[in-house]
Structure 1
Amino acid sequence: MPTAELTTKIPRTRFSPTTKTIMTATTLKVHLLQLSCHFTWDLIDGEIDEIEERLQNQLTYLVSERKYMVYNLLAYIKHLQSDYTESIANLNEAERNCLSTSNGTNCELLVIYGNYAWVHYYLNQLEESQLYIDKANNVYKELKQTNDPKDIPEIYGEQAWSLLNFNKKHYEKAKDCFEKALKEAPQDPEWNSGYATVVYRLEGFQNFKTPGLKWESLNLLKRAIELNRKDSVMKALLGLRLQDLKRTQEGLINIEEALQQTPNLPYLLRYVAIFYRRAGMIDKALCVLKTAVSLIPNSGFHHYQIGLCYRSKMSEKKTLAKSDFKNIKTYSREIQELLQKTIFHFKKGLECKKTHMYAYIDLANIYIEANEYKKAEETFQTVLSFTNLTDNEKQQIHFHYGNFEQFKKKSEKEAIRHYKEALLIPGTFYNKQRCEQEVKKLAERKITRDPTNASGFSLLGFVYKIQQKSADAIKCYEQALTLDPHNEEYLSNLSELKLAI
Structure 2
Amino acid sequence: MSEANNSLEQILPQLKCHFTWNLFKEKDIPEDLEERVCEQIESLNPEFKGTMYNLLAYIKHLDGRNEEALECLQQAEESIQQEHSDQAEVRNLVTWGNYAWVYYHLGRLPEAQAYVDKVKQACEKFSNPLSLDCPELDSEEGWTWLNCGERQNERARVCFEKALEKKPNNPEFSSGLAIAKYYLDGKPRKQISDSVLKKAIELNPDNQYIRVLQALKLQKMNEEAKGERMVKEAVEKAPHQNDVLRIAVKFYKNKGDLDKAIELVQRMLESTPNNCYLYHQIACCYWAKVKQVQNEESDADMKREKMDELRKHAKEYLNKAIEKGLSPLYEYSELTELLEIEEYDQIASSKELPARERQHSQHDRDSLGQTAGTTVQCDLEGLPVSQTSAEKQKVNGQQENTSENQIPPNAPNYWYQQGLIHKMNGELLQAAECFEKELGRLLRNSPSGISHFFLPAPEL
Q: TM-score, normalised by structure 1?
A: 0.63
| Aligned counterpart, 1:465 | none
| Aligned counterpart, 1:83 | 65
Shift of 1:105: 6.6
Does residue 342 in structure 1 map to residue 342 in structure 2? no
Question: Do 1:48 and 1:77's aligned partners in 2 also have CA atoms closer than 8 Å?
Answer: no
Question: Do 1:346 and 1:359's aligned partners in 2 also have CA atoms closer than 8 Å?
Answer: no
**Alpha-carbon distance in 2 for matches of 1:87, 1:123:** 11
Does residue 55 in structure 1 map to residue 27 in structure 2? no
**Alpha-carbon distance in 2 for matches of 1:178, 1:355:** 34
| Aligned counterpart, 1:264 | 240
| Aligned counterpart, 1:130 | 113
| Aligned counterpart, 2:426 | none
**370, 378, 390: which one pairs with 1:382?**
378
* Pairing 1:96-495 to 2, within 5 Å after superposition: 96-100=78-82, 101-104=84-87, 106-144=89-127, 151-204=133-186, 206=187, 215-216=191-192, 218-320=194-296, 323-324=297-298, 327-346=299-318, 348-349=320-321, 354=326, 359-370=331-342, 380=376, 382=378
SS class of match (1:38): coil
SS class of match (1:361): coil
| 2:10 alignment partner AA | V
Aligned residues: 352
| Aligned counterpart, 1:24 | 4
- Segment of structure 1 superposing worse, 41-50 or 99-108: 41-50
**Alpha-carbon distance in 1 for matches of 2:185, 2:220:** 11
| 1:135 alignment partner AA | K
Shift of 1:55: 1.9
**Alpha-carbon distance in 1 for matches of 2:206, 2:327:** 32
**Alpha-carbon distance in 1 for matches of 2:13, 2:259:** 53
| 1:157 alignment partner AA | S
Q: 1:343/1:193 Cα in 2 relative to 1: closer, same or farther (>3 Å)?
A: farther
**Alpha-carbon distance in 1 for matches of 2:282, 2:259:** 10
Shift of 1:94: 1.3
Question: Do 2:70 and 2:102's aligned partners in 1 also have CA atoms closer than 8 Å?
Answer: yes
**Alpha-carbon distance in 2 for matches of 1:273, 1:222:** 22
Question: Do 1:50 and 1:353's aligned partners in 2 also have CA atoms closer than 8 Å?
Answer: no
Unaligned runs of 5+ in 2: 345-363, 381-460
Q: 1:214/1:158 Cα in 2 relative to 1: closer, same or farther (>3 Å)?
A: closer
Shift of 1:342: 2.8
| 1:256 alignment partner AA | K
Question: Do 2:181 and 2:190's aligned partners in 1 also have CA atoms closer than 8 Å?
Answer: no
Q: 1:189/1:383 Cα in 2 relative to 1: closer, same or farther (>3 Å)?
A: farther
| 1:299 alignment partner AA | N
Question: Do 2:330 and 2:378's aligned partners in 1 also have CA atoms closer than 8 Å?
Answer: no
| 2:13 alignment partner AA | L
Question: Do 1:339 and 1:370's aligned partners in 2 also have CA atoms closer than 8 Å?
Answer: no
**Alpha-carbon distance in 1 for matches of 2:209, 2:125:** 37
Q: Which has the larger radius of gyration?
A: 1
Shift of 1:358: 7.6
**Percent sequence identity over aligned pairs:** 32
Cα offsets for 1:352-375 (capped at 9, x unmatched): 685798843333343344455899
**Alpha-carbon distance in 1 for matches of 2:336, 2:88:** 53
| 2:314 alignment partner AA | T
Shift of 1:47: 4.1
**Alpha-carbon distance in 2 for matches of 1:252, 1:381:** 32
- Segment of structure 1 superposing worse, 71-80 or 368-377: 368-377
**Alpha-carbon distance in 1 for matches of 2:92, 2:211:** 31
Shift of 1:236: 0.9
Shift of 1:241: 0.9
**Alpha-carbon distance in 2 for matches of 1:338, 1:99:** 50
**Alpha-carbon distance in 2 for matches of 1:357, 1:184:** 44
Shift of 1:307: 2.6
**Alpha-carbon distance in 2 for matches of 1:339, 1:261:** 34
Shift of 1:148: 12
| 1:308 alignment partner AA | C
Q: 1:97/1:182 Cα in 2 relative to 1: closer, same or farther (>3 Å)?
A: same
Cα offsets for 1:298-352 (capped at 9, x unmatched): 33443333233212321121122xx44xx32332232133234334435645666
| Aligned counterpart, 2:393 | none
Cα offsets for 1:79-118 (capped at 9, x unmatched): 1122222111111121122222232472111101110110
Unaligned runs of 5+ in 1: 1-20, 208-212, 385-501
Q: TM-score, normalised by structure 2?
A: 0.68
| 2:208 alignment partner AA | S
| 2:97 alignment partner AA | G
Question: Do 1:339 and 1:366's aligned partners in 2 also have CA atoms closer than 8 Å?
Answer: yes
Cα offsets for 1:475-494 (capped at 9, x unmatched): xxxxxxxxxxxxxxxxxxxx
Cα offsets for 1:397-421 (capped at 9, x unmatched): xxxxxxxxxxxxxxxxxxxxxxxxx
| 1:332 alignment partner AA | R
Q: 1:131/1:253 Cα in 2 relative to 1: closer, same or farther (>3 Å)?
A: same
SS class of match (2:96): helix
Q: 1:370/1:197 Cα in 2 relative to 1: closer, same or farther (>3 Å)?
A: farther
**Alpha-carbon distance in 2 for matches of 1:137, 1:189:** 29
Cα offsets for 1:406-457 (capped at 9, x unmatched): xxxxxxxxxxxxxxxxxxxxxxxxxxxxxxxxxxxxxxxxxxxxxxxxxxxx
